[in-house]
Amino acid sequence: MYTKGEILCLAKLKQNYQNYEANWKIYEVVFDLENKKKRLEEIETIISKDGFWDHREQSTEILKERTLLNASIDQWTALIKEIDDNKMLLEMAEEENDADTFDGIQEELTELEKKINAFSITHMLSGENDRNNAIVSINAGAGGTDAQDWVEILFRMYSRWIERNKYQSKLIDFQPGDEAGIKSVTFSANGDYVFGYLKSETGIHRLVRISPFNANGKRHTSFASVFVFPELSQEIIVDIEEKDLRIDVFRASGAGGQHVNKTSSAVRVTHIPTGIVVQCQQEKSQHRNKEIALKVLKARIHQREKQKQEDEMNAIHNAKEDIAWGNQIRSYVLHPYQMVKDHRINLDIGNVNSVLDGVIDPFIEGMLLSGKSTAKKV
């Protein structure tokens, strides 16, 4: 027979498991396993086509997508197996009155909860550029030498975060401070979903401490701006599929009499996804007119995509300009008390040294779970 304490423990375990199952049903809808499998089949078909390797950058992106889909599906399958295994273990312990295993099951469920939370956070990164590498720029603001020293501290903090997550980093630009620290630094952070994780770091970061550069030991406030934007491909690949085209042929207009066109040699090509229409009737051959029309269509689609890239980067830079001094997203207070506070999600962490050593995941995850992804004025 179970003791009262064991009954309460068992009831708690069963309730925890029921909660996991309820949450998992929500994740099933969000994860959309069937569409992921369908997309994986489409990718395998694309890879098997002749000429796939002719466009290196395009093939690299498709292979990267395949790798991510496979990893995601494998992670999903492993979690389902772990949930089922824990459920079976819990049922066996209950049937056999095996109270000694309750603590072990609780530990297993605690670890399972962490894995499920990590899994759910990863799949919140569904923005258009969330999978991209990130470019991070840190600039000193108000605060003189202290602000430049603050930039160096933030640079170290992000560098440690990159190392902890086994990403790669490359220095792009570095402007040393006049006396100490760094005026500005720009670097890349390379890896899957780096931009998705770091994008919420964009904003003003405020430091309050006893200044090491003040002989009187007075408290000093410094500011630095952090700007994170996605690394975009410079190459625009125009891949037109036959199913996306509507091709109409008609008689070309021209002189009458003996010069009138008696065959339908003119060609009109409509690109259905974009609505772009191109026609050509200058050549006598329908085949030649179609060839020229497709070249013009590709050029117009290329220009359209280039304009989209420019508009996207302009929108990102406009967001940067909206960040004003005094509108900090996060405050790092070292004196008179120690605390890091994210003003957007009202999250406080007392271990400042840990945060400055790169443990910023609670802030990143908090922003993702809150549904906020950009800097917010305070």
Q: Please check the confidence at residue 121 and state whether its pLDDT lies above 80.
A: no
Residue 6's nearest CA partner among 107, 94, 113 is 94
How far apart, in whole angstroms, are the C-alpha atoms of residue 152 and residue 180? 9
**Residue 228: its H or E element:** strand 219-230
State residue 180's pLDDT score.
Answer: 92
How far apart, in whole angstroms, are the C-alpha atoms of residue 88 and residue 261? 79
State residue 101's pLDDT score.
Answer: 67
293-328: pLDDT as tens digits:
887 788 788 778 777 777 776 676 665 544 345 578
The superfamily (CATH) of domain 4-122 is Release factor (1.20.58.410)
Residue 330's nearest CA partner among 353, 346, 354 is 346
Instruction: Please state, as a whole number, how many other Cβ atoms lie within 10 Å of the Cβ of residue 271.
Output: 20
Q: Please check the confidence at residue 362 and state whether its pLDDT lies above 60.
A: yes
State residue 12's pLDDT score.
Answer: 58
Residue 265 Cα distances to 176, 190, 252, 282, angstroms: 66, 51, 6, 9
State residue 375's pLDDT score.
Answer: 39
- Strands of the sheet with 266-271, listed across from one edge: 245-250, 266-271, 276-280
CATH top-level class of 242-313: alpha beta
State residue 329's pLDDT score.
Answer: 93
State residue 355's pLDDT score.
Answer: 97
CATH top-level class of 134-231+323-370: alpha beta
Q: Exposure string (b/e) for 112-149, b if CB count within 10 Å is 16 or more?
A: beeebeebbbbebbeeebbbbbbbbbbbbbebbbbbbb
State residue 5's pLDDT score.
Answer: 46
User: Quick one: average pLDDT of 215-228?
Assistant: 88
State residue 165's pLDDT score.
Answer: 92
155-184: pLDDT as tens digits:
999 999 999 999 999 999 999 998 899 999
52-75: pLDDT as tens digits:
887 776 788 788 888 878 888 888
**Residue 283: its H or E element:** none
The model's confidence at residue 215, banded by pLDDT at 50, 70 and 90, is confident
Between 114 and 30, name the one with better pLDDT: 114
User: Quick one: average pLDDT of 328-334?
Assistant: 95
Contact indicator for 266, 251 with CB cutoff of 8 Å: yes
- Tokens representing 246 are 């509507």
Report percent pLDDT > 70 for the chain. Answer: 79
Q: How much is the pTM?
A: 0.64
Domain boundaries, the chain: 4-122, 134-231+323-370, 242-313
User: Quick one: average pLDDT of 10-35?
Assistant: 63
